[in-house]
Every structure is written in C-alpha cells, then in structure tokens.
Amino acid sequence: MKRRNFISVMGASVAGLLLSACSPSDKSLNDTQKAQVAVPVQESFEWKMVTSWPKNFPGLGEAPERFAKEVKRMSNDRLIIKVYGGGELVPPLEVFDAVSQGTAEAGHSAAYYWKGKIPAAQFFSTVPFGLTAQEFNSWIHYGGGLELWREIYEPFGVIPFAGGNTGVQMGGWFNKEINSLDDLKGLKMRMPGLGGEVLQRAGGTPVNLPGGEIFTALQTGTIDATEWVGPYNDLAFGLHKAAKYYYFPGWHEPGTSMEITINKKAFDKLPEDLQAIVENAARVVNQDMLDEYTARNNASLVELTTKHNVELRKFPKDVLEKLQVISEEVVNEFAEKDPAIAKVYDSYKAFRDSVIEYHEISEKAYINAR
Ligand code: CA
C-alpha cells in the first residue's frame, strides 16, 4: 500500500499516533512498515519578502537574508523565503502596503516610514530622546509594546515583529557646523519619523528618502544634510564623500528598531511549528543586528576619521537641550490629536519613566563610572 493511501486509510489522527509511537529504526517493524512510518506528509511554503534596503546592504539588508536562512534551516526547507531588495519587486517605501495587500507574504523595513498612513507606527521604530535599543526591546517583549504594535497593524492584516535594532544612531552629516539651534533653520535634511517632525519645528525642512537615494541627493545639493544610521552603514554609502562634519549623538534615533511584517492570512496558513519558527527567527535577527552594529561601528568610525579625515563633532549641550524640549512638545501634541498615538504613548512613556529611573543607577551609573 502506498504511503498516501496508508495515511488516508488510517486517518490522520491514528497515523499521527502510529508515527509518534514508532520510529523507522523500530526493530519490530518489517521494511514495508518502516517505509510507511518514515516520513509524515508535510506541506511546504514559498514566501516573498520585500525590503526597504539595497539587496544585501550591510546590516539592514543582511537581516532579512539571515531571517530567510534561519527559517529555511529550522523548518528543514518547509518554508522558503525569497528576499527582494528595495525596488526589485516594490519600491523601498511601499513594503507595508505590499505585505498588507499580499503582494509579498513578508517584509523588512522600519515602522516610521508608514507615518503618513499610521501615525502611531512611528513609536515602534524610535522616538527622539526616547528608549535605547535595550529599553525598546524590553518594552516590546515585556512591557506591552508588542501587543499595541499588533493592535495598530491589525486593521491592515499585518503582523509585526521586532526585526533588528541599530542602537544609538549618529546625529548626521553636515557641510557646516551646528553651533546653535539657528543653524538648523532652513536646513533641508533627510530625516524620517518623529525626528523629522522635531527638525521641522526647529525651523528645518525634513525630507524622507529611502537609503539608496541619500548619497546622490546630498552630493547634488538636493538636500543640505542627512542622517542615515551609524559609522558602519554610513561608510557603506560613502556619505563622507559628500559631507565634512559628522555629528553625534543621534538624539532623533536613540535605538531604532526595524520590523519584520507578515501578512496575516499567510501566517494563519502555516502550521503551528512553522509559526513558532517564524517568531523565533525574528527574535534571532532582532538581537543579531544589534550585536553586529555594536561590533562594527567603532572600526568603521576609526576608518572614517583616520583614513577619510572626517571631522567628528558633538552637538552643543544647549542645542540638545532645546531639541529635547521641542521633542516633548511635538510628541505630546501628536498624542492630543490622535487617540491611537495617545494609547501607544501612554504605555511608552510609563515604561520610559520607570526604566530611566532604574537605568540611572545601573547602566548609566556604570557607563559613567568605567
Ligand atoms: Ca536614521
């Protein structure tokens, strides 16, 4: 009797019992019986994953590749994910729509790119003067953040997972020194998310561009300044060839999270073990990106300052203080206007206040002491 017929005659539950009770090496079975119990019939899946990054771009673009690789390995080839660079299947900043509409089953991007569609999404990438990477991951996984994130994406049929974190970013690339808040006035700068809103309030003009377009825009003068990520990624785009001063710290992006998004219908079609694999592969990628950036940023910074003579500058204290005041105003105003933001920000703020209090005497006290 053929295996398929055997299973259908037995009925799925009886076959399942037989499979769990016997193994192919069971000495009481003859060869035919061994063949019958050796391989359960399991459905396989093929997914497309669209991203906002150039294909295989260091860090950001490697994370979705790593996700696909881990899922393939853990699922024993039952879930194969083909990764597309930004623009290969859909434009870099249309990842969310593609996943929502089912053009792709999965996406890798950052939530603040969807602020025009879902203003509350911005809180799930980063908030100026907000949580660090470590704190953000804690809010997401132990502070109720993930539940809120799922709630705001639910109407779009999209399930989000944290999908990598850059840690504290750099403040950006400028061709003039920033000595006062006035120096930001009239400045056309690439800056996404809430940071861009703060820049606008400070008199600048924020521009949202996908990563792959930043260098040309800066070099041709379409923008006056830009931020991207940190030394490792900024070096990869050659931003030092288009600007002289490299400012820190990245007040606007203190621990930016990427997101892995999954089309809900596609996720629901997976058996439970593959769903668990997707969930855990996302968790691996989320931690892995931060580990890689932490390892590579300093070496890249040394290369930028010694080999490429980049001038490193710290934002003046009063500029940072004023930007922090503006940030608080901007976020509070958003919360007053939008009930979804108010709900997310209540949770974010309560978590931030409590974690800052503890980190004063733990992480920060230690870093200051060593
Ligand atoms: Ca950035």
Task: Assess whether pLDDT exceeds 60 at residue 25.
Answer: no
Look at the block and give the residue holding tokens 């069971």. 26
**Residue 93 CA to ligand 1 centre (angstroms):** 14
**Residue 78 CA to ligand 1 centre (angstroms):** 35
175 vs 15 pLDDT, higher one: 175
**Residue 211 CA to ligand 1 centre (angstroms):** 9
d(CA 283, CA 172): 29
d(CA 330, CA 35): 66
Reported as a pLDDT band with limits 50, 70 and 90, residue 9 is very low
**Residue 170 CA to ligand 1 centre (angstroms):** 8
User: What is the arithmetic mean of pLDDT over 19-43?
Assistant: 62
| Res 5: pLDDT | 41
**Residue 319 CA to ligand 1 centre (angstroms):** 19
**Residue 367 CA to ligand 1 centre (angstroms):** 24
Q: Work out the end-to-end distance of the chain between its first and last CA atoms, rounded to an integer number of angstroms.
A: 72
Reported as a pLDDT band with limits 50, 70 and 90, residue 6 is very low
For 124, 147, 159, 277, the CA distances from 150, given in Å and listed in that order, are 11, 5, 6, 18
User: What tens digit of pLDDT does each residue of 281-323 get?
Assistant: 999 999 999 999 999 999 999 999 999 999 999 999 999 999 9
Task: Assess whether pLDDT exceeds 80 at residue 33.
Answer: no
**Residue 70 CA to ligand 1 centre (angstroms):** 26
For ligand 1, an ion, list residues with CB under 5 A: 169, 227, 253
> Which strand (E) or helix (H) includes residue 187?
none
User: What is the arithmetic mean of pLDDT over 30-50?
Assistant: 78
User: What tens digit of pLDDT does each residue of 250-279 get?
Assistant: 999 999 999 999 999 999 999 999 999 999
Whether 204 contacts 182, CB under 8 Å: no
| Res 41: pLDDT | 75
Task: Assess whether pLDDT exceeds 50 at residue 7.
Answer: no
Nearest to 175, CA basis, from 239, 231, 88, 132: 239
Name the superfamily (CATH) of residues 45-165+255-294.
Bacterial extracellular solute-binding protein, family 7 (3.40.190.170)
